[in-house]
Homo-oligomer: A and B are copies of this chain.
């Protein structure tokens, strides 16, 4: 199968024309070095690393998997060297704070890099993604001493990180966490069992920084009794060098459908006297601290969906160009299957969904940068609200479309798609977890409806819909060329408005409506936000010139946007109709009758 090739042209176009990179570099002093030229060079180098180092280990890692040897997890061959090269090249610290050795590039640049790692090798990519989340959580909530001791080594990639949340009885429901932490002087001793710990142990780095949710002393029941602790794999000596092994050990690794090269561990804390840990943030305030990491991971998982979708698309196109079945209409020659209408439908669906989900994710990244760095408080709040609104859409919709795209990738391969050696099936297997981890998409949907729509009465949404509608005038200027795209977007915006009003008004009377409608609402917003970004791209493309793209690229983008309007936007109506049916047929069904 072909190795991964980073879609640098589309990445550059989206960053510059849709996600606001030039404005970031021009207006935010911290980002004055993040010019398009610099970012181009960084991403080209990331693409090279992804294609030449990570991609070739994707199939071998899947075949080899990981294993527990004594108290250690051994990963697949060449993964440790690859990680050291990754760290040495500075990829962990791309958007990290320069105070601790980070390179200080915008998040919006780290997002396409993250897409590349996930596309090339999703199992590998989870390891630096976790480090990135831990860095943010420690920077925001840890004491200066902990920051000084841990952040530089995390940013350099010398050490890795995990998030230890789940326990057998506590998955989505973190209020049920039972792991406990006893105070001992300035530190704690932790006791408990954590499951589903991604990259919970491995031999890629010298140390691992576990962020662990546990109940501290005198913890009240429920979510408000959960605290966050830093538990290192190896304790640090006073001079910061590695000391003895801490009492947090991998007990086993799971046999999973996909991501075979990424160890998913059961971790035992305190079987030998207690795992030494340090409080992060305030006692009993662990969920808020964890959410700093969780929001990063949610965006990251959405981007993983984008990467897997694009990778599946690339491989399917390569196969469809090469595989010959059937004949031309004149019967004279056998033709590659890429000429058959239904194969084109599948490939264009894969392409359009990948590009649309990419655009939403990068746009969300741009808002995060402005939420952190805009000079005016009001701007920061506004961009934070938009990023908050987009995060569940990026996580939820990008991962749903990753399933669909990866499944289409298998389908394009026909019988060969079912054969593991082909590689198409791995993308489907790997993608399957993305709708589940870091909060299932059902949870994302409830977050979207409950926290992002209902809580502010639809203001953040109205703000976004206003921007969508403002695009209409520009689409109108495009005339016949943009007519179908304009109409599809207008219909999509209407569907979102009506569905939102239905939920906002109905929830007052029906306490089940939000939950019953949530998933369709998430999918509706995903489809329409994707159509919005494709329409924005089409407006640029219709003008025929962009400093960020060739004329040929723009023609192709316009054709993809048109396909999206024709073939993807219709889904908005199915979701809106399902929402309008309300909750009765979902909640009225007797529990015993399932």
By a beta-carbon cutoff of 8 Å, the part of chain A in contact with chain B is: 166, 169, 171-173, 175-176, 195-196, 254-258, 317, 320-321, 324-327, 329, 334, 338-348, 351, 403, 407, 410-411, 414-415, 417-421, 425, 428-429, 432-433, 435-437, 440-442, 445-446, 484, 511-512, 514-516, 518-519, 552, 555-556, 559-560, 562-563, 565-567, 570-571, 573-578, 581-583, 585-591, 593-594
Contact = CB atoms under 8 A, between A and B. Distances in A.
Contacts of A338: 591, 594
A440 B411 contact: yes
A177 to B, nearest CB: 12
B445 A519 contact: no
A573 B577 contact: yes
10 contacts: A169-B324, A175-B327, A340-B515, A341-B587, A342-B518, A344-B516, A345-B586, A347-B594, A410-B436, A567-B585
B173 A325 contact: yes
B419 A256 contact: yes
A436 B411 contact: yes
Contacts of A403: 407
A8 to B, nearest CB: 16
Contacts of A437: 415
Q: Which of A176, A320, A418, A588 has the most chain B CB within a 10 Å cutoff?
A: A418
Given A411-B440, A440-B414, A570-B573, A515 B255 contact: no
Contact of A566 (B428, B571, B581, B593): B581
Contacts of A351: 594
Nearest to A258: B418
Nearest to A170: B325
A593 B553 CA distance: 9
Contact of A344 (B172, B411, B581, B589): B589
A95 to B, nearest CB: 28
Given A173-B326, A419-B255, A432-B407, A574 B570 contact: yes
Count of this chain's copies in the oligomeric assembly: 2
Contacts of A585: 348, 559, 562-563, 565-567
A3 to B, nearest CB: 18
Contact of A415 (B171, B176, B515): B171
Contacts of A347: 594
Nearest to A417: B436
A586 B341 contact: yes
Q: Which of A403, A514, A552 has the most CB of B within 10 A?
A: A403
Nearest to A569: B577
Given A257-B410, A257-B429, A344-B589, 7 more contacts: A317-B594, A340-B442, A414-B440, A415-B436, A418-B432, A429-B429, A556-B593
A576 B575 CA distance: 14
A306 to B, nearest CB: 18
Nearest to A403: B407
Nearest to A316: B594
Contacts of A166: 415
A319 to B, nearest CB: 11
Contact of A420 (B255, B345, B562): B255
Nearest to A173: B325
Contacts of A317: 594
B348 A589 contact: yes
**Top 10 A-B pairs, shortest CB-CB distance:** A341-B515, A570-B577, A566-B581, A342-B442, A574-B574, A173-B325, A257-B425, A563-B585, A570-B574, A556-B593
Contacts of A432: 407, 410, 418, 425, 428
A344 B593 CA distance: 12
Nearest to A407: B403
Contacts of A571: 574
A441 B408 CA distance: 11
Contacts of A574: 570-571, 573-574
Given A172-B326, A325-B172, A571-B574, A581 B256 contact: no
A178 to B, nearest CB: 13
Contacts of A415: 166, 171, 195-196, 433, 436-437
Given A559-B588, A587-B344, A256 B418 contact: yes
Contact of A591 (B339, B407, B575): B339
